Amino acid sequence: MSHTLQAFHRRSIESPDAFWDEQARRIDWHTPYRQVLDDSQPPFRRWFVDGTTNLCHNAVDRHLAERGDQAALIHISTETGAERQYSYAELHREVNRCAAVLSKLGVSKGDRVLIYMPMIPEAIFAMLATVRLGAIHSVVFGGFASASLATRIDDAQPKVIFTADAGMRGGKHIPYKPLVDAAIDLAGHKPEHVVIVERGLDPDMPITQCRDLIYATLLGRLEQTEVPCEWVESNHPSYILYTSGTTGKPKGVQRDTGGYAVALAASMENIYCGAPGETFFCTSDIGWVVGHSYIVYAPLLRGMTTIVYEGLPTRPDPGVWWSIVEKYRVSVMFSAPTALRALKKQDPAWLKKYDLSSLRYLFMAGEPLDQPTADWITAELGVPVVDNYWQTETGWPMLSAMPGIEKTPLKNGSPSFPVYGYNVQLLNEVTGQPVARGEKGVIAVLPPLPPGCLSTIWQQDERYVNTYFHSFGGTLAYSSFDWGTQDEDGYFYVLGRTDDVINVAGHRLGTREIEEAASNHSAIAEVAVVGVADALKGQVPVAFAVLKDPSLIHDDAQREALARDVIAMVGRELGAIANPSDVMFVTQLPKTRSGKVLRRSIQAIAEGRDPGDLTTLDDPTGLDQVRQAVAARHGTD
């Protein structure tokens, strides 16, 4: 890390009050805060104490005087052919109308609104309208199945669910409303209303009288369309976003308001180098943290134009993203390695077809960026390709180059350095002591966590402390649950998870959740799911299952039929994104003498690696079974 960057980072750690007081000037405060940081009860902390603000005001209203006619939001759907633009003035009008609808339905400060939507403008209107009212949104990715949606309904207990008749992906209709209905049937909490945006994609959409309301009809009945912002204390929750990794009660990351706004506003200049009036294109979805932070809030906080894209990177052709860059003069783009690996397989002429001279940076996150993909896209675009590392919990990058502060050399495979505000350490997983340069340790952050990071787990303070701050014995530190190393130049490298979470195309999925869903199949006695390296998606889930009737293993047709059934069951329980790429059947799983399944050894064999230390193995039969299943599947000896 260079001297300039070191000094900037060191000041954020050693003088957080002065540092973040300066950054907080990037947003409007209705009432000034009386204290920058209160960390008197670690690991909890409060930023900008007693200051009042509003996330919607800072993202929309405050730009009206200077940017009312500038494009704020551009929606492009290659699924339906729709393309719409909204200026800041038009966005302000639509958000106010949506807020008026929610207010008329009884939504007020502190209430929850669950948003289960495709990537359409109304989804963003609903998010901004919710925080305008001082309410709390819980966006659930539209690909999640009813059972997963039901657990989130019960946890957040929303007053209103905001949804659409259907979404589309790859030309296929995904009816949302039947999924919402099934989730409400499963949930103990029953929301008062379901508001539906009709796209004309599901003419047979079921309607429940009194509960279900059509959004366009509600808009037509409005008498008042101006809704004032509800000024909330800085630490008031802005949203809940659920993260994978455990079974049972969901883990809802709770985000504050003022700290989040300050962190995102600062990141757009210091990290992403986006300027007011420019166009920012993030290819993620809402429902994942990247979409919340860098499709919706950060670009608007910065006064930029944000692109909301519904579709695939290769449909209608592999040049669609680059055509958007040309047409809207995109200056900064943010995507995931999985998407680039898919594009890398296509004819390179698609990249040469369009004028990409407006593009200054391509940022990548969600999973490690492999060197071949990084080399290819850097050469093709001729702009810096910057890898950054962060999590649902942090809300914005933990590790990244920061070209807005100083341009530093990039190293393949490294997300560069700790971002200002994060006191990142590599700690020994047992002793909690820092490891030497070059040694593997757990990526950890010494408290206080900077603005924008999770405040707690929704309604589970004890779980927040026990989950994230009890990994290192007597050392109080936030655990990322990722292994990492640091080289002699200070560059960090992320090596993979320490727990049972896998990264599929940039989306975190808990293997235990997939195991639980697969175990519901009547023929399955036991199952272990591991993440296996995949050239396109980074990792894919692979299941190794023990059948109640071992004789079925020897019947090829029954075995294949069972595998299809298990995959379908997981899809019904969790959604297609969690589907195992393969199900292999064994008579026994490898376990320790205490009965713990050796998942890391299973994963190693599935990836063709050495299974490692097997001194704790109770019986070699299970490991032999895994080897044989993998060999049979791949046609090897």
Among candidates 453, 419, 64, which has minimal Cα distance to 253?
453
Residue 613 pLDDT grade (very low, low, confident, very high; cuts 50, 70, 90): low
Edge-to-edge strands, sheet with 492-497? 423-427, 441-446, 478-486, 492-497
Comparing C-alpha atoms, which of 502, 199, 184, 538 is closest to residue 340?
538
Check the CA dihedral 103-109-114-118 and report its sign.
positive
Helix (H), strand (E) counts: the chain: 21, 32
Domains, the chain = 3-311+388-457 (3.40.50.12780), 501-634 (3.30.300.30)
CB 312 within 8 A of CB 169: yes
Tokens describing residue 29: 């405060």
Q: 250 and 144 in contact (C-beta within 8 Å)?
A: no
What pLDDT sits at residue 1? Answer: 66
The pLDDT value recorded for residue 499 is 65
Of 303-307, 554-558, 566-570, give the lowest mean pLDDT range: 554-558
From residue 249, give the alpha-carbon distance in Å to each of 252, 392, 460, 577: 9, 17, 10, 20
Query: Which of 412-421, 423-432, 507-516 shows the lowest mean pLDDT across its residues?
Result: 507-516
The pLDDT tens digits of the residues spanning 53-85 come to 999 999 999 999 999 999 999 999 999 999 999
Strands ordered across the beta sheet of 239-243: 212-214, 193-197, 160-164, 112-116, 136-139, 239-243, 251-255, 456-457
Are 468 and 45 in contact by the 8 Å Cβ rule? The answer is no
Q: Average pLDDT over the chain, rounded to whole?
A: 91
CA distance 193 to 212: 6
Q: What is the pLDDT of residues 525-563, one digit of tens each?
A: 888 898 898 888 888 999 999 888 888 878 788 888 999
User: What's the pLDDT band for 145 if we cut at 50, 70, 90?
Assistant: confident
The pLDDT tens digits for 91-124 are 999 999 999 999 999 999 999 999 999 999 999 9
Token pair of 572, please?
């019904």
The answer to whether residue 420 scores a pLDDT higher than 70 is yes
pLDDT value for 614:
66
pLDDT (tens digit per residue) in 183-197: 999 999 999 999 999
Contact between 61 and 92 under an 8 Å Cβ cutoff? The reply is yes
The per-residue pLDDT for 13 is 98
pLDDT for 575 equals 82
Sign of CA dihedral 291, 293, 296, 300: negative
Interval 314-331: pLDDT, tens = 999 999 999 999 999 999
pLDDT at res. 592: 62
What tokens were used for 22?
Answer: 């300066």
Query: Would you place residue 246 in the very low, low, confident or very high pLDDT band (cuts 50, 70, 90)?
Result: very low
Q: Which amino acid is present at 151?
A: T
Query: Which tokens hold the place of 136?
Result: 């709390």
496 pLDDT above the threshold of 80: no
Q: What is the separation of C-alpha 43 from the centre of its chain, rounded to a whole number of angstroms?
A: 23
Give the CA count within 13 Å in the CB-facing half-sphere of 599. Answer: 19
Q: State the pLDDT confidence band at 623, using cuts at 50, 70 and 90.
A: confident
Q: What is the DSSP string of 311-371?
A: S-TTSS-TTHHHHHHHHHTEEEEEE-HHHHHHHHTS-THHHHSS--TT--EEEE-SS---H
Q: What is the pLDDT of residues 464-495, one digit of tens each?
A: 999 999 999 889 999 998 889 999 999 999 87
> Partners of 117 in the beta sheet?
none
Cβ neighbours of residue 265 closer than 8 Å, sequence gap 6 or more: 23, 26, 27, 58, 298, 301, 302
Given a cut of 90, whether residue 612 has pLDDT beyond it is no
Q: So what's the pLDDT on residue 637?
A: 42
Candidate from 65-79, 236-250, 607-621 with smallest mean pLDDT: 607-621
Task: Please state, in angstroms and rounded to a whole number, the distance separating the CA atoms of residues 149 and 364.
Answer: 28
DSSP state of 188: S
pTM across the whole model:
0.84
